[in-house]
Chains A and B, each alone.
Chain A
Amino acid sequence: MKQVWRTIAVILAISAGILVLLGYFFDLSAWGLDSVRQVILRWALILAAVALWVGAGNLVRVHWRKMVSRQDGGGYSLVTLASLALTLVVIVVSGPNGKMSQWVFNHVQIPVETSLLALLAIVLIYASIRVMRRRLNPFAIALFLTVIILLLGATNWMGMEASKFSMLREWILAVPVTAGARGVLLGIALGTIATGVRILVGFERPYEE
C-alpha cells in the first residue's frame, strides 16, 4: 500500500512540475490548463503560509527546550519567546499594517538588523585578513588589491575625487567583475536546470518519505 501512495505522490509531483514549467513557455489557457496551473500555484502559497506556522512552532519548541533545560544561552531563549509572544499580541490587536505593528517593525526589527549589518562589515574585514594570513596566494593578493582599488575609487579624499581610481573601479566592475559574475551565473543556472530535470524525471524526490 505504501508503494502505491509513493507512486501516486511521484506522479502528482511530476505532473504538477511539468504543468507549471509548460506554463512559463506556452499559453495554456487554450487547453483549459491555465486555471489548473493557477490553482497549483495558489496551493503552493497556502502551503507556504502553513509552513510558516509549523516553523514558528519549531522555533518555540527549540527555545522552550533550551530555556527549560537551562542550557547555555537559555536567557536569550527566554527573550526570544517573550518577544515572539509580545509581537504576536501586538499584530493580532493592531493588525499587520497597524500603527503599533509598524512601530515594532521600524523601531525594533530594522535597528537590530541594521546593527548586525554594520557589525558584518567589521567582521568581514577581520575574517578576510585572517584568511589571507593562512592562504597567501596570487588570488588572495588580487582580491586584496581589488578591494583597495574599489574602496579608493568609491571615496572622495577631502572633497577631491580620486579620478584615476574611479576610472579603474568602473573598468573593474564593467569588465572582469561582470565577466566573472556571468560565468558563475551560467554555472548556477545549469546546476538549477540539472536539479529541476532530476525532479521532473523523478530521480530527486524531496517530497517522498
Chain B
Amino acid sequence: MSFIELNRVGIAGLLFVLAFAAGFLSLLGSGKKLSRDRLRTIPAFSRLEKALYQATEGGKCIHISPGRGGLFNLPGAATLAGLRFLKGIYLSAGLSDRPPIVSSGEPFVDILSTEAVEEIQRAHDARHIPGEPASQLTGLTPFSFAGGALSAVAGQDVTANVFAGHFGSEIGLMIDAADPSGAQVFASSENFAAQAVLSATVEDPILGEELFSAGAYLQGEPDVLASMLIEDIARWSLALVILGGIVLRYLGVI
C-alpha cells in the first residue's frame, strides 16, 4: 500500500469518526426524546433485570466480572462497556444487604472497578463490608484469572454471574462452574473465541455490539441511546456501501 493510499484510508477513517461524532452530538443537542422503551428486546437484558430484582429481594448477591482486557487497543472498549455493566448492576443491586462481588483479571480493570464501586457506595451511602476490597484481582493470566474467580462464581449466595468485557476461551470454565449452584449466567465479550464459547454454552448470550448497549438497556442513559441510534445508521450505511461495491465489482465498474 503506497503512502497516498494509506493517507486516503486514514482520511476516510477520520471522516467516518468525525461524521459519527457530529451525528451523535447533533442528536443529543436536538433535544429529541430518546427512550429505552423503543429498543428491541434482548432476552438476556430482560432476564438480567429480573435477576437483579430477585437478588435484591432475596438477600442474594450477584457476581460481576469486567474481564481482563485492560485499556489498550480493541479490548479497551470492551472493558469500558464492562464497566458500564458494573455500574448499572451496582446501582440496581448494590444497595441491598449483599453487595455484588466484583472480580477482574487485569490491574487497570481492577483499579477502575474499585473506583466505580467505591464511587457508587459513597454517593448512595451503600453498605459495604469493612476491609473487604471493592474489587478482587483474581489472576494476571487468562487461566489464573478464571481459576481464581471460580470461588466467587460458584459461591452459595451468588444468584447470577455477569461476565461483560474482554475474555478469551477461559470464560468456558467460569460458566461451567456456575452450573452446580444453579446461578444464572449473563455473558458477553468482543473476543471471537469467547463469543464462540458463549454461543455454545450460554442460553442467551449477549453477542457483538450488544455488549456496548448495557448503559441503554440497564439505565436508559441518553448518550448511550443516542450512540446506539447513530451506530444503527452507520451499520446500514456500511452495509449499503458493501452491497454497492459488490454490484459495481460485478458490473466491472470498479
Bound CA–CA A44/B70 (angstroms): 12
> Which residues from chain A contact B192 at a C-beta distance below 8 Å?
181, 184
> Which of B44-52, B91-99, B200-208, B246-254 is the contact stretch?
B200-208
In the complex with contacts A117-B143, A184-B192, A190-B231 CB distance below 8 A: yes
Bound CA–CA A24/B17 (angstroms): 12
In the complex with contacts A26-B10, A191-B212, A58-B137 CB distance below 8 A: yes
**B140 at interface by CB-CB < 8 Å:** yes
* CB <8 Å contact, A204 and B146: no
Residue of A56, A61, A143, A188 touching B199 (CB-CB under 8 A): A143
Q: In which size bucket is the chain B interface?
A: 35 or more
> Which of A89-97, A119-127, A155-163 is the contact stretch?
A119-127
In the complex with contacts A113-B143, A123-B172, A198-B227, A130-B209 CB distance below 8 A: no
> Which residues from chain B contact A187 at a C-beta distance below 8 Å?
208-209, 235
Bound CA–CA A137/B238 (angstroms): 31
Residue of A113, A124, A183, A191 touching B81 (CB-CB under 8 A): A191
* CB <8 Å contact, A116 and B146: yes
Bound CA–CA A200/B22 (angstroms): 12
Taking CB as reference atom, which chain A residue is nearest B139?
Answer: A59
Bound CA–CA A184/B198 (angstroms): 14
Nearest-Cβ distance from residue A135 to partner chain B, whole angstroms: 5
> Which residues from chain B contact A56 at a C-beta distance below 8 Å?
107, 137, 140
Which chain B residues in 1-27 approach chain A with CB under 8 Å?
Answer: 10-11, 13-14, 16-17, 20-21, 24-25
* CB <8 Å contact, B143 and A127: no
Residue of B14, B136, B170, B213 touching A62 (CB-CB under 8 A): B136
Bound CA–CA A28/B36 (angstroms): 41
* CB <8 Å contact, A124 and B230: no
Bound CA–CA A183/B192 (angstroms): 12
Nearest-Cβ distance from residue A13 to partner chain B, whole angstroms: 12
> Which of B55-63, B110-118, B157-165 is the contact stretch?
B110-118
> Which residues from chain B contact A175 at a C-beta distance below 8 Å?
none
Residue of B21, B132, B208 touching A197 (CB-CB under 8 A): B21
Nearest-Cβ distance from residue B27 to partner chain A, whole angstroms: 12
Taking CB as reference atom, which chain A residue is nearest B12?
Answer: A25
> Which residues from chain B contact A190 at a C-beta distance below 8 Å?
209, 231, 234-235, 238
The A/B interface has a contact count, at CB < 8 Å, of 175
Contact with A along B72-85 (1 / 0, CB 8 A): 10100100110100
**B141 at interface by CB-CB < 8 Å:** yes
Residue of A119, A183, A191 touching B231 (CB-CB under 8 A): A191
> Which residues from chain B contact A194 at a C-beta distance below 8 Å?
20, 24, 212, 227-228, 230-231
Bound CA–CA A47/B212 (angstroms): 26
> Which residues from chain B contact A143 at a C-beta distance below 8 Å?
199-200
Which chain B residues in 124-148 approach chain A with CB under 8 Å?
Answer: 131-133, 135-144, 146-148
Nearest-Cβ distance from residue B224 to partner chain A, whole angstroms: 8
In the complex with contacts A44-B72, A188-B209, A198-B223, A131-B77 CB distance below 8 A: no
On B, residues with C-beta under 8 Å from A are 10-11, 13-14, 16-17, 20-21, 24-25, 70, 72, 74, 77, 80-81, 83, 106-108, 110-112, 114-116, 119, 131-133, 135-144, 146-148, 151, 169-170, 172-173, 175-176, 179, 190, 192, 195, 197, 199-203, 207-209, 211-213, 223-224, 227-228, 230-231, 234-235, 238
Give me 28 A-to-B residue pairs in the complex whose CB atoms sit less than 8 angstroms apart, sorted by A's number: A25-B14, A48-B72, A52-B140, A56-B137, A58-B114, A61-B133, A62-B138, A113-B144, A116-B170, A117-B169, A124-B172, A127-B175, A135-B203, A187-B208, A187-B235, A188-B190, A190-B234, A191-B77, A191-B190, A192-B74, A194-B20, A194-B231, A196-B77, A197-B20, A198-B24, A201-B24, A204-B80, A206-B83
Known: A62-B137, A192-B74, A197-B17. 14 other contacts (CB 8 A): A53-B107, A55-B111, A55-B137, A65-B133, A126-B176, A128-B200, A130-B179, A131-B201, A190-B235, A196-B77, A197-B24, A197-B227, A201-B21, A209-B119
